[in-house]
Amino acid sequence: MTQQVYITRAVPDLVSSMLQQALPGLRIEANRHDRNLTAAELLQHATGANGLICTLADPIDRSLLQALAPKLKVVATYAVGVNNIDLVAARELGICVTNTPGVLTDATAEIAVGLILACARRMVEGDRLTRHDGFTGWAPLFHRGHGVFGKTLGIVGAGRIGKRVAQAMLHGFGCRVLYTSRAPHPDWDNELAATHLELEDLLAQSDFVSLHCPLTPQTRHLLDARRIALMKPSAILVNTARGPVIDEAALVKALTQGVIAAAGLDVYEDEPRLAPGLTALPNVVLLPHIGSATLETRNEMGRMCAQAVIDVLQGRRPRHALT
């Protein structure tokens, strides 16, 4: 019987090449419109598939998995986060779920550091101003921002990406590093001279707060109005983790009222929609979820997804299996 794989978005060509080479006769179908599918569309197109390559925008819930079982054997998500996938249901139905950990670390850390710099030195504001004839010459009080060297960086979530950001800011800018996590990490303490703090203390002491925690029921709206208010008026908040970690409406209010100086966002609470008022604010840098958007990283993510599908359909357990 011919095996089938459905891919929910356009992906690098190497994905299809790998699948076809390893699984001769495999039928590959992909979302020709390259847009997010509704739940009904996803069910329609994925029915009959033995493998599914999806993104974090696809709702892989219990009802979908039940409808696709028992033919569906593997869901390979083109992401690290899996909060859009019902792992419990997948496990019960015998469907293997995989992700792409590790490969996104450097690329996402680059964006986090870039957002810190862009916000601190008001780069995007300066670009807009210059393009619209607002630059009339150098002046002592013109377009001042905040320095970065020697400041205090607070990392929320002591995973690979958070550590990479801490390393870059410590060694590149001489920043003092604070971090919060469920428990202290000796490697952070020893390698980065970092200090483990409770979240509230970290927020109060940090000049830059960078979020790197997963989205769970406990971290949803982790940064709400009360916690944002604990930050310094000169502080900058950066999020390259998951949008709902921040209460976006509360952030808009805080930025409008000067509770904090600025924010840099690559993810949003209700992607791709933004909270009302966010785009009108001059003190926020908004990126279109490009944390992992380098040629090298996206190719490697595709390779990992393809290999996971190949492994399962050839009877092997893939390296990054979660169920």
**Active-site annotation, residues:** 242, 271, 289
Given strand 152-156, what is the order of strands in its sheet? 195-196, 176-180, 152-156, 208-211, 236-239, 262-265, 284-286
Phi, psi of 43 (to 5 degrees): -60, -45
Contacts of 103 (CB under 8 A, 6+ apart): 292, 297, 300, 301, 304
* Helical spans, DSSP H, in 121-269: 123-131, 160-173, 186-192, 199-205, 225-228, 248-257
Place of tokens 């469907």: 95
Which tokens is 120 given?
A: 């601190």
CB 61 within 8 A of CB 78: no
Contacts of 218 (CB under 8 A, 6+ apart): none
First to last CA, the chain: 25
Nearest residue to 265 (alpha-carbon basis) of 319, 91, 245: 245
Q: How far apart are CA 321 and CA 308, in angstroms?
A: 8
Q: How far apart are CA 263 and CA 236, in angstroms?
A: 5
Residue type, 84: N
Q: How far apart are CA 73 and CA 10, in angstroms?
A: 21
